[in-house]
Amino acid sequence: MSSVEQKQPLSDGPDWSFELLGQYQTEIERVAKLYKLDTYPNQIEVITAEQMMDAYSSVGMPIGYNHWSYGKKFIQTEQNYKRGFMGLAYEIVINSNPCIAYLMEENTMTMQALVMAHACYGHNSFFKNNYLFRTWTDASSIIDYLVFAKQYLSQCEEKYGISEVEDMLDSCHALMNYGVDRYKRPQKISMDEEQKRQKDREAYLQSQVNQLWKTIPNKGDLSAEHEYRFPSEPQENILYFIEKNAPLLKPWQREVVRIVRKISQYFYPQKQTQVMNEGWATFWHYTILQHLYQENLVTDKFILEVLHNHTNVVFQPEYHSKYYSGINPYALGYAMFTDLRRICEDPTEEDKEWFPDIAGSDWLETLHFAMQNFKDESFISQYLSPKIIRDFHLFAITDDDKESTLEVAAIHNAEGYQQIRQTLSAQYNLSNIEPNIQVYSADIAGDRSLTLRFIPNKRIPLADNFQQVLKHVHRLWGFNVQLEQQNEDGSIKLLGSCPV
């Protein structure tokens, strides 16, 4: 490696220039290739702090439609930033092809390099290869779709008024979490196709709805029809159900529902892969920059600044710290990927017992496999090792409202590993976090009322703001809406209805 030693280290700034960015990017890409990181092409955009705040408040979407809630977010961000309560994110990266990453002008050269390694190679390769992203999002068409959505909504605003569109969006946003398909695979279509289909869909959907409501039976048949329930099976995608079946929505309103639903679906994988995604990106910025340091391509000063930031990012406050707000996904994810590498390269007896199939295997292949085929929930239940549990001093607490005290269910000892792993995994299972509410029936033969059914998980009740959400459902559906709760013993309780 004599040639490597002759290389001059790259300038460590602190000021960056586009030329220097290019040099670092070339080196980082070279190393990323060595580690077989497969990425979309990168589009790296340098922006100012104000622009970062803009991007921040529109959930990172480069071209979002207009809505007051983004304005609220912006005002909050601006306030917090100006008062110094919060720093801005160093980067924002968008799951698109080419993969768009924002670098902030204020960052030092070191930070820009760290961000490039983190976002443009870490996150980017995750977006391209993780199965959830491959299944649920189409990176090449998302930007087009957002453009389409923005244009469509602003046309609607011109035609029907800002307030009308705003009302629709408010209601759809309230149900955004209930606008995703969990099992069906969506089809991919291009922007052109999307626009062409939109017009057809408008006409077609309306005719379908009209058909559906025409099937009101004669009064005499009412008893016979009583057993018939629509939909025949409960529907978990409430927005989809509304889009297709709400009797009074106008065609453009159905399209708005669809837009919100599509965007919700686009973000669905991100919600389920926080730990993995951040862990993967953090692992790679660390590994790539260390590699450059080994090659003498970066200076001591550079690597110290990197380490300083890196340790901040992966800091995990303990449960009694005032900074504690749950488990830091960066810390957990980074620790797990690092530990996976250790298990492959330097397995202990314990590892051989817990991970017989990967202990001693090729670490790079194992890591790529883990990144590609899991989400947070399954990743933790598969790979959370006893060593991590010990390192983090993890312990599980049982909180039952029937008991007067909390109980420590398991700690970081041999008896507890399995249980902690299961509990932590369940903690990342969206269906444990989000209340299970489905469309149970729509009374198409009678008063057209819609019944939603809530099935509590482990007796955890619904937060009591549901009445407000019901108002939004009512606005979309147009007729009475009821919310029932199905208890463990099978009994049904009416939680609320709108209008009350």
Using alpha carbons, select from 440, 449, 447 the residue that is nearest to residue 216: 447
Q: Interface with other proteins by CB under 8 A: which range of 174-182, 222-230, 239-247, 289-297?
A: 174-182
Using alpha carbons, select from 491, 493, 497 the residue that is nearest to residue 479: 497
Q: Exactly one of 212, 307, 426, 455 binds other proteins (CB under 8 A); which one? A: 426
Q: Exactly one of 12, 13, 27, 29 binds other proteins (CB under 8 A); which one? A: 29
Query: How far, in Å, CA of 132 to CA of 236, rounded?
Result: 19
Binding of other proteins by 424 (CB under 8 A): yes
Tell me whether residue 329 or residue 347 sits nearer to other proteins (CB atom): 329
Query: How far, in Å, CA of 51 to CA of 410, rounded?
Result: 46
CB of 214 to other proteins, least distance (A): 32
Binding of other proteins by 41 (CB under 8 A): yes
Token pair of 18, please? 């586009």
Query: Considering only residues 205-244, where is the footprint of other proteins by CB under 8 A?
Result: none
Q: Phi and psi at residue 414, in whole multiples of 5°? A: -55, -40
Query: Considering only residues 8-27, where is the footprint of other proteins by CB under 8 A?
Result: 18, 21-22, 25
Token pair of 497, please? 């209805």
Cα 36 off chain centre by: 25
Query: How far, in Å, CA of 476 to CA of 250, rounded?
Result: 10
| Cα 38 to Cα 116, 289, 290, distances in angstroms | 15, 18, 19
Tell me whether residue 24 or residue 148 sits nearer to other proteins (CB atom): 24
Query: Considering only residues 285-314, where is the footprint of other proteins by CB under 8 A?
Result: none
Tell me whether residue 174 or residue 343 sits nearer to other proteins (CB atom): 174
Q: Exactly one of 235, 277, 287, 423 binds other proteins (CB under 8 A); which one? A: 423
Cβ atoms of 412 and 439 within 8 Å: the answer is: no
Cβ atoms of 101 and 119 within 8 Å: the answer is: yes
Query: How far, in Å, CA of 449 to CA of 15, rounded?
Result: 63
Instruction: Spell out the long-range contacts of 340-345 with Cβ–Cβ below 8 A and sequence spacing 24 or more.
Output: 340/366, 340/367, 340/370, 340/383, 341/367, 342/387, 343/385
CB of 211 to other proteins, least distance (A): 31
Q: Exactly one of 108, 177, 418, 480 binds other proteins (CB under 8 A); which one? A: 177
Cβ atoms of 473 and 437 within 8 Å: the answer is: no
Instruction: Count the residues of the shown chain that bind other proteins, applying the rule CB under 8 A.
Output: 102
Binding of other proteins by 349 (CB under 8 A): no
Query: Considering only residues 309-338, where is the footprint of other proteins by CB under 8 A?
Result: 316-321, 324-327
What is the pattern of x (binds other proteins, CB under 8 A) and - over residues 383-422?
---------xxxxxxxxxxx-xxxxxxxxxx-xx---x--
Tell me whether residue 124 or residue 366 sits nearer to other proteins (CB atom): 124
Q: At what angle do helices 329-345 and 376-383 cross, to 10 degrees?
A: 40
Using alpha carbons, select from 426, 331, 340, 412 the residue that is nearest to residue 375: 426
Binding of other proteins by 429 (CB under 8 A): no
CB of 431 to other proteins, least distance (A): 12
CB of 262 to other proteins, least distance (A): 18
Binding of other proteins by 61 (CB under 8 A): no
What is the pattern of x (binds other proteins, CB under 8 A) and - over residues 121-160?
----------------------------------------
Type of residue at 297: L
Q: Phi and psi at residue 337, in whole multiples of 5°? A: -65, -40
Q: Exactly one of 23, 59, 74, 350 binds other proteins (CB under 8 A); which one? A: 74
Q: Exactly one of 30, 35, 47, 251 binds other proteins (CB under 8 A); which one? A: 47
- Residue appearing with tokens 């870490």: 122
Q: Residue 326: which residues within 8 A CB-CB, separation 6 or more?
A: none
Q: Exactly one of 197, 301, 308, 459 binds other proteins (CB under 8 A); which one? A: 459
- By the 10 Å C-beta count (0-12 exposed, 13-18 middle, 19+ buried), 462 is classed as middle
CB of 191 to other proteins, least distance (A): 21
Query: Considering only residues 367-386, where is the footprint of other proteins by CB under 8 A?
Result: none
Binding of other proteins by 460 (CB under 8 A): yes
CB of 32 to other proteins, least distance (A): 11
Q: Interface with other proteins by CB under 8 A: which range of 168-176, 247-255, 281-289, 364-372?
A: 168-176
Binding of other proteins by 4 (CB under 8 A): no
Binding of other proteins by 84 (CB under 8 A): no
Strand partners, 99: 42
Taking CA 267 as the corner, what is the angle to CA 252 and CA 99, rounded to the nearest 5 degrees? 105
Q: Exactly one of 433, 492, 493, 494 binds other proteins (CB under 8 A); which one? A: 433
Tell me whether residue 111 or residue 469 sits nearer to other proteins (CB atom): 469
Rg over alpha carbons for the chain, rounded to the nearest Å, is: 26
Using alpha carbons, select from 101, 83, 84, 115 the residue that is nearest to residue 306: 115
| Helix (H) or strand (E) segment spanning residue 149 | helix 142-160
Query: Considering only residues 97-116, where is the footprint of other proteins by CB under 8 A?
Result: 98, 102, 105
Query: How far, in Å, CA of 97 to CA of 128, rounded?
Result: 9
CB of 57 to other proteins, least distance (A): 6
- The DSSP letter of residue 422 is H
Binding of other proteins by 461 (CB under 8 A): yes
Query: Considering only residues 467-496, where is the footprint of other proteins by CB under 8 A?
Result: 468-469, 472
CB of 482 to other proteins, least distance (A): 14
